[in-house]
Amino acid sequence: MKKQNSLAYLEAKGMSKVWEAYAEHYAAEEIMEEGFNPNSGYVYLALENGITIASSFGQNVEYIIHDFDTDDEIIFDSFEELEIYLIQQNEK
* pLDDT for 3 beyond 90: no
Please state, in angstroms and rounded to a whole number, the distance separating the CA atoms of residues 75 and 91: 20
Q: Is 10 exposed, middle or buried (0-12, 13-18, 19+ CB in 10 A)?
A: middle
CB–CB of 26/53 below 8 Å?
yes
* pLDDT for 2 beyond 70: no
Report the 10 Å Cβ neighbour count for 60. Answer: 11
Write down the pTM of the prediction: 0.88
The predicted pLDDT at position 62 comes to 97
Please state, in angstroms and rounded to a whole number, the distance separating the CA atoms of residues 19 and 30: 13
Band the pLDDT of 5: cuts 50, 70, 90: low
Please state, in angstroms and rounded to a whole number, the distance separating the CA atoms of residues 20 and 26: 10
Q: Taking all residues of the chain, what is their mean pLDDT, rounded to a whole number?
A: 91
- At residue 89, what are phi and psi to the nearest 5 degrees? -70, -35
The predicted pLDDT at position 75 comes to 96
